[in-house]
Structure 1
Amino acid sequence: MSLRPSLLDPLFAPATVLPGAGPKVAVLIDKLVGTPERPARVVDLLFHLPQRGIARQLRGSIAEAPPGEPVTLGVTVVAHRPPQTAGRKPFRVLVEDQTGDITLVFFNLPRARIEKMLPLGSHRYVSGRIELWDGFRQMVHPSRILDEKGLADLPAVEPIYGATEGLTSRAIGKLAVSALDRLPVLPEWQDRAFLDRQGWPAFADALRTEHRPAEAAETEEDLKTPARRRLAYDELLASQLALALVRSRMHRPPGRTNVGDGVLSRRIEAALPFGLTGAQTRALAEIRGDMGSDRRMLRLLQGDVGSGKTAVALLAMASAIEAGRQAAMMAPTEILARQHAERLRPLVETAGLRLALLTGRDRAAERRATLAGLADGSIHVVVGTHALFQDDVAFHDLGLAVVDEQHRFGVHQRLALGAKGAAVDVLVMTATPIPRTLALTCFGDMEVSVLDEKPAGRQPIKTVLVSTDRLEEVTLGLERALAKGDRVYWICPLVAESEYVDLAAAEERFSALRERFGEAVGLVHGKMAGKDKDEAMERFVTGDTKILVSTTVVEVGVDVPAATVMVIEHAERFGLAQLHQLRGRVGRGSGASTCLLLFKGPLGQVARARLEMMRETEDGFRIAEEDLRLRGEGEVLGTRQSGLAAFRLARPEVDGDLIVAARDDAKLVVERDPGLKSERGRALRALLYLFERDAAVKLLQAG
């Protein structure tokens, strides 16, 4: 049950309360701003801001109208010019004013409809962009054709919204304006002096300004209005405040010093197949510094693919065990948990310690034995999946929780694992390099250590761009690779054939390669049962299959040193960070590796920039910054899939300066008013509920 203040109820009512949102339209609104878990609400429409604003006021004459810019002109219809032959020829309508004439051009519109909209001799107002064709002025498909009454209703600036099939931008605008009428009187949660310095309006006024713009906004710079900056800051502050509250909650119980004598760590380090890099040594010192303090650790260890995060985590776990405590490592998938356990077990046993694996698929007797060992302390290290959260998992004395692949876990899981013992230190690892502004937005509750060196002996990966027209050459190349004993990943972007997008589905590519290479080809995709997926991966790891056709399920973690070729089909469909993660699945052994980016031309500007960047560099941090610039935060973080809250009003790629200010503000608030009990504190509670950071308010209530 939500404890949301009743004053916000009008905003969280279903969108169907708005005029014009009947059952048919409601389905479209849900598609646009709802989620699979819940239908759209009034607030979702309010937070669906226009992408730009087009000037619609009446502008001069035909002769004065500048080509390429939106104009609205008063004209008289002079002639209809239907196409002389059938086919793709357009229907043209000649219109004029006292300064000249212009041709309106229509494709695929019924003649009767055009003649009804633009009767001969009638006076109309047309809105659109003028272009020059062979020196003559024309307007292709005017966006508005109006009579006198329509002109009276036309806004000076028309907001243009991201729309969906069946629901136009104009219809969305009408719904948004109706939603504005439901805005309650809200308390001011921002510091008054700060608002005055910035010149920002009140929250409700900012929303009204955005949905009823007074000025056109065509460019990115035009969108940086005081109203939009205010709204972005509100959302960022809600996010940072939620993280700051989590952080203070994590630190509130005093920590225990997790410092040992270094004996186990030295044994494990001596058994590692390579010496630690400078970056690993530095990160380990930072982690041990936290563990040795009387505050609980909450640290993010981010390193590029293959930078040696697991070794750092293992040595940190050794420190906790030296202090007489236990350590747990949680992975997002069973196959990754098994791989970590297999890799770590010999090293852990070198130090005379006991490691166990705990997953959701353990046999009952096996599980009972593991739980008993965790409870009596005879198991020192446990590696597992979400199964580690379950109520019946009790530790003798958990000192360090390591969470692998942060994107798959939210703040709540971090807290749940941290609650499995008294003053548990938490280390989170991610192989996805995250730009600094985004590290603040999602991990503002954590300190950050960065691994920016690769262990010695890693060979660079050769990245090649290949058009899909050359598929046969690629297949011949695979024959040569297999003859040398190499193993190959072949990545496809979709699990099943999409009715909208012509992409090679994994099953189809698997069948085609099976015809060529027989039993050497395996398949793994997201819709397979976990057990089947693990078996398919296992066959590839052992070499029973040499080519693994896969969807992006191989993106995270799985290590096959013999894999030296990565083929990514329709690479233009993937984000940069995802391409980089996939490429990182090869180049893990001592042999040279290749990544083939198969693309279907012609490439758009962004897709080309992405693929060129992949060819240029293997630096994950540089790639992450570029990915943020090209795509924005929601996509970079994979929040569409991960359950982390994507931003709706803020755009970290544009509002980076506001993130730092919001973080500082949130820290100050929590220091001065940790229970949010002051006048501003109570207003900030409303802000947290408005942006659905309810979990943070529950922490306050839990004390």
Structure 2
Amino acid sequence: MRPEILFPLFAPITSLKGVGPRVAPLLEKVAGPIVRDVLWLKPHSLIRRTPAVLSAARDGETMTFEVAIHGYQAPRTKAQPWRVQVTDPTGFMTLVFFGRYGDQLAQRHPVGARRIVSGKVEESSFGRQMVHPDYILPPEKAGEIPELEAVYPATEGLPARRVRGFVLEALERAPELPEWQDPAFLRQEQFPAWRAAMERLHNPQSEADLSLLSPHRRRLAFDELLAHQLAMAQRKAARRREPAARVAASETAEKIRADLPFRFTGAQERALAEIRADLSAGERMSRLVQGDVGSGKTVVAMCAMADVAASGGQSALMAPTEILARQHYETISGPLAAHGVGTVLLTGRDKGAARREKLAALASGEARVAVGTHALFQDEVAFQKLQLVVIDEQHRFGVAERQRLQAKGEATHLIAMSATPIPRTLELTVYGDLDVSRIDEKPPGRTPVATRAAPMTRAHEVEARLREAVQGGAQAFWICPLVSESEATDLAAAERRAAELTERIGPSVGLVHGRLPPAAKDAVMAEFAEGRLSVLVATTVVEVGVNVPNATIMVIEQAERFGLAQLHQLRGRVGRGRRESACVLLYDPPLSETAQQRLDILRRTDDGFVIAEKDLELRGGGDALGLRQSGFPDYAFADPIAHRDLIAAAGDDARLIVMRDPELAGERGKALQVLQELFDWKANLGLRDAG
């Protein structure tokens, strides 16, 4: 139950003065439905009102003047504004008001009256002016004009100044809360108390106070990170207390490994050993296997599935698309079948008798492994004894979907796989409740992809080279950028490129984009994978994991519009066979310094973990753009890049807390319960689970 001390913050926004039926939906759009959401709003800039005389007025600056009202000029048409001439001993200026202000203005500010005016100065063809001053008050009320004013997000019908008023009222309602942070850590970091940090957030004294790295912003970020890490640590501890089937390493898996045409890398050996230690411990496993494109995650998972099959259990491998599910099935079904482990492929395409046969094989236990898409967690799919669930590209599935599949067994073990390497500093934010294995070595025999950059003006040369390569039997991807702000324009450009390539190369050019229905997209991808198309033009990121060994050329148009990690993922679509492969990065000059660095890093290395770290460095503090689709939580104060040092500290603290006071019953534990309620990060809130 929510502690009483937080009631004022969880009251509806309509409890704030001036938030009636008209304003409430606008304020909810800007902030959210409760007072806490308004308190959470952050100023994005600061207005410094410089007191001055009119002769010192500077174009574009927000300034404050003491003036006398000199005269009024009424508009001749409705479209024209009211103009009010004001003077001081050093000069004159015009105040401009649009709308029906005239009578009110003259009554409230008669000619000869002295006024303090504050707003943005503009130099126009009419001379020096101030359009709709922010303040126009008698001199005795000058104290009401702040010299420094925080500027908040606004929306049509609700200006930033009104939002600021609501925020300051929400701040008045914020209580002094018990201290939940470790006193030694607070001293070490020189963090203010929570209430003082909120005060400083909303009453900044300088531009430095707006920085993500200011002590009060770091304090608030650490509070949020600790609430999140604590929830995940509690969830992890609860899962570990849950007994699960003990699965031993098996001869079957070792025979399958002996049959493989390659030896495991050291990283694969380590990952399998960690999985086996979890499976044999008698506790529920939840492990992420992070590895670069083509690092061999699937065969490691296959060995774990063989161990489960040998102990009498079943496994399910779920992939986000049918084409990926088919690829996984082709990779593992042969080696497993050779040692008596039956495998079925279950997708939305299965109908009638064939589907019934597969469902019966799973229900009876005849099939020990199921590979499929979302079709796996449908109600009619029943397993005899599901003990292991493997999720490929786990960030592509909602938590509820993963739980529905796991619920088909009892205390089911989980292996999540991701081909998007994440720097160690950020792992905790996404996977804090999972154990992590990193496969950071490439299998031997992989040929590096030769990466070159060229300006867009040379696209015709690239097309000509591509034509030659295709005539020699090669296949190629041609990626066009797609950003939501100009989706229609980008799509048209991709369609033009596909038409141009068809003209130059012939009819074996296909096009996939986000607006295609999934079945049509899968059909084009399948044609390409089967070699019936030579060139695939794509606007969306080509499926992570799609394996077309014959594809040896990757052209990325306007490469400067993609993030570093995204470019690396795209490049990973080629170089999957034994043939030499090439990646051409076409860019629009001139390149920014960051874009230049991105392309240079990509030319120098193909290690996804190194690239992920470099990507993080290049993004810099405060730029979390591009992280959202990677499954990062939507934090209010914490920035996964600017506050990455705090993530590790919060993770360590959370683990210690759960070890020392698992029930949060001590003095600090009770304060931490308030923290969790404040941020809504609680262990039982499954749907806010990032991992």
CA distance in 2: counterparts of 1:329 and 1:412, whole angstroms: 16
* 1:216 pairs with one of 198, 206, 215: 206
Aligned to 2:72: none
Aligned to 1:569: 557
Secondary structure at the counterpart of residue 227 of structure 1 = helix
Q: Which deviations, in whole Å up to 9, do the C-alpha atoms of 1:98-144 show, x marking residues without a partner?
A: 9x99x99xxxx99xx9xx9xx9xx998778899xxxxxxxx999998
TM-score, scaled to structure 2: 0.81
1:173 aligns with 2:164: yes
1:241 aligns with 2:230: yes
* 1:49 pairs with one of 42, 50, 60: 42
CA distance in 1: counterparts of 2:519 and 2:603, whole angstroms: 36
Where does 1:76-475 land on structure 2 (aligned, <5 Å)? 152-161=143-152, 170=161, 172-183=163-174, 186-191=177-182, 194-195=185-186, 198-213=189-204, 215-218=205-208, 222-261=211-250, 263-409=251-397, 411-475=399-463
Change (3 A) 1:609 1:43: farther
Where does 1:557-596 land on structure 2 (aligned, <5 Å)? 557-596=545-584
CA distance in 2: counterparts of 1:232 and 1:551, whole angstroms: 36
Shift of 1:694: 4.9
The CA RMSD measured in Å over matched residues stands at 4.5
Q: Which deviations, in whole Å up to 9, do the C-alpha atoms of 1:651-703 show, x marking residues without a partner?
A: 1322223222211222233234434455544543443343333562579xxxx
Structure 1 runs not aligned, ≥5 long: 35-39, 78-94, 131-138
Q: Which deviations, in whole Å up to 9, do the C-alpha atoms of 1:341-387 show, x marking residues without a partner?
A: 12211121122211112234431433333333223221111112233
Q: Which deviations, in whole Å up to 9, do the C-alpha atoms of 1:172-216 show, x marking residues without a partner?
A: 434433443453565544345654664434434422320221x21
Aligned to 2:610: 622
Contact 1:496 1:506 in 2 (8 A): no
Matched AA of 2:528: F
CA distance in 1: counterparts of 2:293 and 2:348, whole angstroms: 27
Q: Relative to structure 2, which stretch is displaced further, 273-282 or 532-541?
A: 273-282
Contact 2:623 2:641 in 1 (8 A): no
Q: Which deviations, in whole Å up to 9, do the C-alpha atoms of 1:392-416 show, x marking residues without a partner?
A: 4333223322221132235555555
Structure 2 runs not aligned, ≥5 long: 69-85, 123-127
Secondary structure at the counterpart of residue 584 of structure 2 = strand
Q: Which deviations, in whole Å up to 9, do the C-alpha atoms of 1:620-642 show, x marking residues without a partner?
A: 11221222234379986966346
Secondary structure at the counterpart of residue 383 of structure 1 = strand
Shift of 1:45: 3.9
Shift of 1:230: 1.8
Where does 1:537-576 land on structure 2 (aligned, <5 Å)? 537-576=525-564
Secondary structure at the counterpart of residue 554 of structure 2 = strand
CA distance in 2: counterparts of 1:490 and 1:22, whole angstroms: 54
Secondary structure at the counterpart of residue 557 of structure 1 = coil
CA distance in 1: counterparts of 2:588 and 2:606, whole angstroms: 23
Contact 1:634 1:646 in 2 (8 A): no
CA distance in 1: counterparts of 2:443 and 2:117, whole angstroms: 68
Of structures 1 and 2, the larger Rg is shown by 2
- The alignment covers a number of residue pairs equal to 663
CA distance in 2: counterparts of 1:158 and 1:289, whole angstroms: 58
Secondary structure at the counterpart of residue 555 of structure 2 = strand
Secondary structure at the counterpart of residue 339 of structure 1 = helix
Shift of 1:592: 1.9
Secondary structure at the counterpart of residue 403 of structure 1 = strand
Shift of 1:52: 4.7
Contact 2:212 2:642 in 1 (8 A): no
Contact 2:201 2:209 in 1 (8 A): no
Matched AA of 1:50: P
Q: Which deviations, in whole Å up to 9, do the C-alpha atoms of 1:276-314 show, x marking residues without a partner?
A: 212212222222222222333222211111111112111
Secondary structure at the counterpart of residue 672 of structure 2 = helix
CA distance in 2: counterparts of 1:626 and 1:61, whole angstroms: 51
Contact 1:555 1:581 in 2 (8 A): no
Q: Relative to structure 2, which stretch is displaced further, 222-231 or 674-683?
A: 674-683
| Identity percentage of aligned residues | 49
Q: Relative to structure 2, which stretch is displaced further, 316-325 or 364-373?
A: 364-373
* 2:628 pairs with one of 634, 640, 647: 640
CA distance in 1: counterparts of 2:639 and 2:279, whole angstroms: 35
Q: Which deviations, in whole Å up to 9, do the C-alpha atoms of 1:64-114 show, x marking residues without a partner?
A: x9x99988575999xxxxxxxxxxxxxxxxx9999x99x99xxxx99xx9x
Where does 1:466-545 land on structure 2 (aligned, <5 Å)? 466-494=454-482, 498=486, 505-545=493-533
TM-score, scaled to structure 1: 0.80
Q: Relative to structure 2, which stretch is displaced further, 599-608 or 328-337?
A: 599-608
Matched AA of 2:147: A
Shift of 1:443: 0.9
Contact 2:235 2:683 in 1 (8 A): no
